Structure formats: structure tokens, C-alpha cells
Amino acid sequence: MLQERKPDWLRVRPPSGENYVHLKGLLRSLDLHTVCEEAHCPNVWECWGGGTATIMLMGDTCTRGCRFCAVTSGNPHGVLDIDEPRKVAIALSELDLTYVVLTSVDRDDLPDGGAAHFARTVREIKARSPRIIVEALIPDFQGDLEAVRTVVDGGVDVLDHNVETVERLQATVRDRRASYRQSLAVLEGAKGMREDIFTKSSIMLGLGETEDEVVQTMRDLRAAGVDILTLGQYLRPSTWHLAVEEYIPPETFDRYREIGESMGFLYVASGPLVRSSYRAGEFFLEKVIHARRNRIREAG
């Protein structure tokens, strides 16, 4: 276990700026949650300062208890704000965004894990902002591929589910209801549901994994058809959470990026402060998806 002092490359600026203040106020007024705040993301100043955020659906209480995550665990007892999809769509239309990421807590207390709620939110957003690109960072829905299909059929452009860590560390890092193979099945299943969908996943580093294990995880994700990969440093949210075993230097992240690109991933974002929802990757996808839409319009 390391001392808690972080290396220089992990220092970040405190949140500030006009866009940050505006976005925070708007989300508060509509009683919306963001994973940026709930998970203590180190990039909140960059994303909110640029006018973007990852909206967290279905409340702030998760039915899972992963040992790396700062989101509150508990039982929401089936409580769901059925007006949330409309409120999210209103907020996003006011912000005039071109790309948005939706995620959620795990809701194992709901029959479909909240898949229909995801889909309704996507449809509400697209109805008000037809050109917006929507990425959905989904739970595993306990491996229920029909629930995954519900989200895909809702019209998402990018389907994201995080494998989080290497196979050996799954039981240590994630809730017992999650599993490596289940996550791979969700990603592979989603990729086969719609020809034009992009899939994405993320790996946290610094939890005690070896380089060989990271590379094998990358191979497994690519074999499941994953298009976009992000790799970032695990940062301990509190003393109640898993300790950081190692701070991975930037040059190692660069090497993983090169390896991922050689495997055929469409895009690899790899760096100490990279997170699953990362603006550089979203900007790349935005260009690719708009180019595809333009080709379809021209062909039609």
C-alpha cells in the first residue's frame, strides 16, 4: 500500500469558472445528479468548465457496493422519478450541447434494472435536440441482454459498460454481483444488436494488476468488439475504499495506448487522469458519428 501523497502528474485544478457555476446551478434547480460529483471525478473542472457533464440517472443511491466507488450504497426500494427523462432533456436543450453522457447507479431493485428509464431519457433528449450524440454508460443489468437491447433500441449512439479491472481482481474490486465475463457478454451482446452502434469500456490501473493482465484485458475487450477504450489511474475516494497499490507513470499509459491502437481499437484514451467519460474521446466520437450521419444523408 502506498503513502497517500500523489505524484505531480495527478495534481488538478479546483473547479471554477462561469460555465462551471452555470451548469451546477442548472442541475441543482432540476434536482439532477452527476457522476462527476458523486464519484469525485478529478476532471470536473475541465468538463463543467467546457459546459459538459455526465448525468447520473435514477438517483444517487446504488444497490451495489463496489470497493472503488464513492457513490452511496443502499436500497432505493423501487423509488424512481418518472419525470427525470423530461427534466434531463430540458436541461440539455438549455445547454445547447452536441454530446452528452448518461450513466446511472445500479438499480437491481427494479425489474429491468432501469433499462426502460434509460431508453425514455434518450428519446426525450433526441426529441428536443435531434442532432445531439448520446452515450449511455450502463450497468450490467445482471447480464440481462434484453435490458441491454432496451437501451440500444432507445437510440443511443455509444453504448458504454466498464469492465473496471483485470479478471483476477474482479472479486476484490467490484460487487459480488458483477463479473468480468458478464461485463464482456454485455459489451459483445450490445455490439451485435445494431450495426451502427459504437461500444466502449474502461480499465482502472493501480490496483495491483500486472502489465500482462492489462494487455490480456485489452485483448478480451477487443475480441468482444469494443471500439473505444479508456485507461486511467485509480484514485482512492476515502479511507473506507481500496488503497492505491501503485501510481502508474504517464509513460506506461502511453505504452498502453500504443498497444491498444495496434490491436485495432478505434480510439484509445490512456492517461493518469483519464476517466470513462473523457472529453477527448467524446470529441473524437463526435467527429466520427457526424461524418457517418452526413454520408448517410448524402447517400439518401
How many other CB atoms are there within 10 angstroms of residue 160's CB atom?
Answer: 25
pLDDT, tens only, 102-148: 999 999 999 999 999 999 999 999 999 998 899 999 999 999 999 99
Q: Is residue 69 part of a domain?
A: yes
Find the length of the chain: 300
pLDDT at 167: 98
Mean pLDDT of the chain: 85
Q: Write the CA distances from 75 to 72, 82, 112, 117, 171, integer angstroms.
A: 10, 18, 16, 18, 21
Q: Is residue 289 part of a domain?
A: yes
CB 105 within 8 A of CB 118: no
Could you tell me which residue, 262 or 55, shows the higher pLDDT? 262
pLDDT at 13: 54
Q: Is residue 3 part of a domain?
A: no
pLDDT at 276: 67
Name the domain count of the chain: 1
pLDDT at 50: 47
Q: Is residue 161 part of a domain?
A: yes
Q: What is the mean pLDDT of residues 5-27?
A: 59
Report the alpha-carbon distance of residue 18 to residue 50 in Å, rounded.
Answer: 10
Closest C-alpha to 153, from 138, 168, 143: 138
pTM for this prediction:
0.85
Q: Is residue 202 part of a domain?
A: yes
pLDDT at 264: 97
pLDDT at 80: 96
Q: Is residue 239 part of a domain?
A: yes
Largest Cα–Cα distance in the chain? Answer: 59
Report the alpha-carbon distance of residue 183 to residue 192 in Å, rounded.
Answer: 15
Q: What are phi and psi of 50, to 5 degrees?
A: -90, 5
CATH number, domain containing residue 172? 3.20.20
Q: Is residue 88 part of a domain?
A: yes
Q: How many Cα atoms sit within 13 Å of 286 on the Cβ side?
A: 14
Q: Is residue 2 part of a domain?
A: no
Closest C-alpha to 1, from 290, 285, 247: 247
Cell numbers placing 189: 451482446
CB 77 within 8 A of CB 275: no
Domain that holds residue 271: 8-299
pLDDT, tens only, 86-97: 999 988 888 767
In which band, very low, low, confident or very high, does the pLDDT at 49 lie, cut at 50, 70 and 90? very low
